[in-house]
């Protein structure tokens, strides 16, 4: 099939920042794109050939959108799976498939999947709701501390909470959830796996993620991770195994814990381009977004190695500011060599909302990390 400068249409469910960055690659290749997003001012609305506003969870909306395109992909997991199943049955290619998404969308299903396939993960219990969880705690069948996770609709630290006492369960939604044993760990790592329709596979280098202590959001992504080569190889081989078991097509971001005794446990996965791979736009031979496209169109995968060390800093809304966004001191960070800001195009800021990211590239990874801190302390996402 001729994808380039042709009538071929790629559909993307979701027009957020991931969609916007994916669209920069479709423009590079002159691939026609249709985007569906609930917000009329979605970041991806400007960069596609045709934009449609509508709910990603509504069967008819997703189904009717999917009928307009040749290949359908998504930049967010919260989409109507039944519509994807129907489209697949009618010959529309959906990558990653509805089957892959179904096993990942619900964190309870995802954890069960790891157990069934002997993929190392933290011990957990599933619950229908908070009331069932509380009665299990009161009966002494569970001990503190543990990590509470909503089974569905969690993102960027929402739907996750460390529980140390019964009081920590107050105000949590009465929704299906899991309670996961708290694992002492040295590092949070991630490996992005690209896998094509034909089964060609490549992994990006292992990255290390430093988290904000309160918001439970990634502050820095560091590539390569500052870990032993044997640990990196173990993380890579587990990520490949996870990808094969899910039979995914496209990108799969596998988030992991490196325990104190250097075991690797899978935390969770995302079947799409991911925050942990944003550094690749500047630092890699082939960005994660280009390789997602290559994979779902069954083109040869691009080289995943790094040209240079890269550190990414998330730009999130400053606390105490809501409203029309203003990026303070952006010109100051632009003066620093090797610094590239990415502004996502969200007009409204609020505390901890992801508004952009900054990539720092440098021959010396430790120097890149120092500059990243300087960047973080300089630029501020406030309101006008």
Query: pLDDT, tens digit, for every residue of 303-322?
Result: 999 999 999 999 999 999 99
**Does residue 157 register a pLDDT over 70?**
no
Residue pointed to by tokens 């977004």:
289
Does 181 carry a binding-site annotation?
Answer: yes
Q: Do the Cβ atoms of 219 and 278 come closer than 8 Å?
A: no
Does 77 carry a binding-site annotation?
Answer: no
- Break the chain into its structural domains and give their ranges: 9-94, 123-181, 185-383
Q: Which pLDDT band, with edges at 50, 70 and 90, does 215 fall under?
A: low
Q: Do the Cβ atoms of 359 and 288 come closer than 8 Å?
A: no
**Mean pLDDT of the 320-326 span:** 97
Q: How many CB atoms lie within 10 A of CB 229?
A: 9
The pLDDT of residue 260 is 95
The pLDDT of residue 122 is 96
Q: How far apart are CA 117 and CA 115, in angstroms?
A: 5
Rama region for 241: left / alpha / beta (φ>0; ψ in -120 to 50; rest) = alpha
What CATH homologous superfamily does 123-181 map to? ATP-grasp fold, A domain (3.30.1490.20)
The pLDDT of residue 237 is 98
Q: In whole angstroms, what separates CA 108 from the centre of its chain?
A: 18
Does 267 carry a binding-site annotation?
Answer: yes
Q: What is the overall mean pLDDT for the chain?
A: 95
Q: Which pLDDT band, with edges at 50, 70 and 90, does 346 fall under?
A: very high
Q: Which of 136, 118, 36 is nearest to 78 (CA)?
A: 36
Does 176 carry a binding-site annotation?
Answer: no
Does 192 carry a binding-site annotation?
Answer: no
Q: Which pLDDT band, with edges at 50, 70 and 90, does 171 fall under?
A: confident
| Structure tokens given for 267 | 């935390």
Indicate the angle between helix axes 81-89 and 59-66, nearest 10 degrees.
40
Q: Which pLDDT band, with edges at 50, 70 and 90, does 153 fall under?
A: confident
Domain 185-383 sits in CATH 1.10.150.20:
no
Q: How far apart are CA 336 and CA 358, in angstroms?
A: 12
What are the DSSP calls for 251-319, one per residue? EEEEEEEEETTS-EEEEEEESS--GGGTTHHHHBSS-HHHHHHHHHTTPPPPP-SBSSEEEEEEEEPPT
**Does residue 256 register a pLDDT over 90?**
yes
Q: pLDDT tens-digit profile of 58-78?
A: 999 999 999 999 999 999 999
**Does residue 214 register a pLDDT over 90?**
no
Q: How far apart are CA 351 and CA 312, in angstroms?
A: 19
Judge whether 9-94 and 123-181 match in fold: no
Does 2 carry a binding-site annotation?
Answer: no
Does 256 carry a binding-site annotation?
Answer: no
Query: What pairing do the DSSP bridges indicate for beta strands 124-127 and 160-163?
Result: unpaired
Q: How many CB atoms lie within 10 A of CB 167?
A: 8
Q: How far apart are CA 335 and CA 90, in angstroms?
A: 53
The pLDDT of residue 216 is 67
Q: How far apart are CA 356 and CA 306, in angstroms?
A: 22
Q: Which pLDDT band, with edges at 50, 70 and 90, does 343 fall under?
A: very high
Q: How far apart are CA 326 and CA 161, in angstroms?
A: 30
The CATH classification number of 9-94 equals: 3.40.50.20
**Mean pLDDT of the 186-207 span:** 97
Q: Which pLDDT band, with edges at 50, 70 and 90, does 155 fall under?
A: low
Does 319 carry a binding-site annotation?
Answer: no
Does 149 carry a binding-site annotation?
Answer: yes
- Which residues, other chains included, contact 305 with Cβ-Cβ below 8 Å and sequence gap of 6+? 205, 284, 285
**Mean pLDDT of the 274-279 span:** 96
- Which residues, other chains included, contact 205 with Cβ-Cβ below 8 Å and sequence gap of 6+? 223, 224, 225, 232, 304, 305, 306
Q: How far apart are CA 197 and CA 82, in angstroms?
A: 22
**Does residue 142 register a pLDDT over 80?**
yes
Q: Which pLDDT band, with edges at 50, 70 and 90, does 176 fall under?
A: very high
The pLDDT of residue 156 is 59
CA distances from 332 to 72, 217, 232, 380 (A): 40, 25, 35, 11
Residue 166: DSSP 8-state:
G
**Does residue 377 register a pLDDT over 70?**
yes
The pLDDT of residue 345 is 95
Q: How far apart are CA 224 and CA 281, in angstroms?
A: 15
**Does residue 154 register a pLDDT over 90?**
no
Give the SS3 label for residue 383. Answer: strand
The pLDDT of residue 198 is 97
Q: How far apart are CA 277 and CA 25, in angstroms?
A: 15
The pLDDT of residue 128 is 94
Q: How far apart are CA 299 and CA 339, in angstroms?
A: 31
Q: Which pLDDT band, with edges at 50, 70 and 90, does 118 fall under?
A: very high
């Amino acid at each position: 099939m001729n994808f380039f400068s042709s009538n071929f249409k790629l559909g993307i469910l979701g027009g957020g920042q991931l969609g916007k960055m994916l669209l920069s690659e479709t423009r590079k290749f002159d691939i026609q794109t249709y985007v569906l997003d609930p917000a009329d001012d979605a970041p991806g609305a400007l960069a596609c050939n045709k934009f449609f506003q509508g709910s990603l969870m509504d069967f008819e909306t997703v189904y009717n959108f999917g009928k307009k395109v040749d290949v359908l992909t998504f930049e967010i997991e919260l989409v109507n799976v039944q519509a994807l199943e129907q489209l697949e049955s009618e010959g529309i290619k959906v990558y990653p498939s509805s089957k892959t998404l179904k096993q990942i969308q619900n964190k309870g299903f995802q954890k069960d999947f790891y157990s069934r396939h002997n993929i190392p993960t933290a011990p957990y219990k599933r619950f229908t709701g908070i009331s069932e969880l509380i009665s299990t705690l009161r009966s002494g069948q569970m001990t503190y501390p543990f990590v509470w996770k909503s089974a569905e609709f969690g993102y960027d630290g929402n739907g996750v909470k460390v529980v140390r006492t019964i009081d920590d369960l107050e105000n949590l939604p009465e929704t299906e959830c899991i309670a996961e044993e708290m694992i002492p760990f040295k590092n949070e790592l991630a490996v992005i796996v690209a896998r094509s329709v034909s089964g060609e596979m490549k992994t990006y280098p292992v990255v290390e993620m430093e988290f904000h202590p309160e918001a439970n959001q990634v502050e820095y992504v560091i590539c390569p991770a500052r870990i032993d080569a044997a640990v990196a190889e173990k993380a890579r081989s587990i990520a490949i195994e996870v990808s094969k078991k899910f039979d995914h097509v496209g990108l799969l971001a596998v988030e992991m814990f490196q325990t104190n005794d250097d075991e690797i446990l899978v935390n969770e996965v995302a079947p799409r381009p991911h925050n942990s791979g944003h550094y690749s736009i500047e630092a890699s031979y082939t960005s994660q977004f280009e390789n997602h496209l290559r994979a779902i169109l069954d083109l040869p995968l691009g080289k995943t190695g790094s040209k240079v060390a890269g550190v990414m800093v998330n730009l999130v809304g400053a606390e105490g500011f809501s409203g029309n966004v203003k990026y303070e001191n952006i010109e100051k960070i632009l003066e620093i060599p090797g610094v590239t800001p990415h502004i996502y195009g969200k007009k409204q800021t609020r505390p901890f909302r992801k508004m952009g990211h900054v990539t720092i590239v440098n021959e010396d990874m430790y120097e890149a990390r120092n500059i990243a801190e300087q960047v973080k302390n300089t630029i501020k996402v406030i309101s006008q």
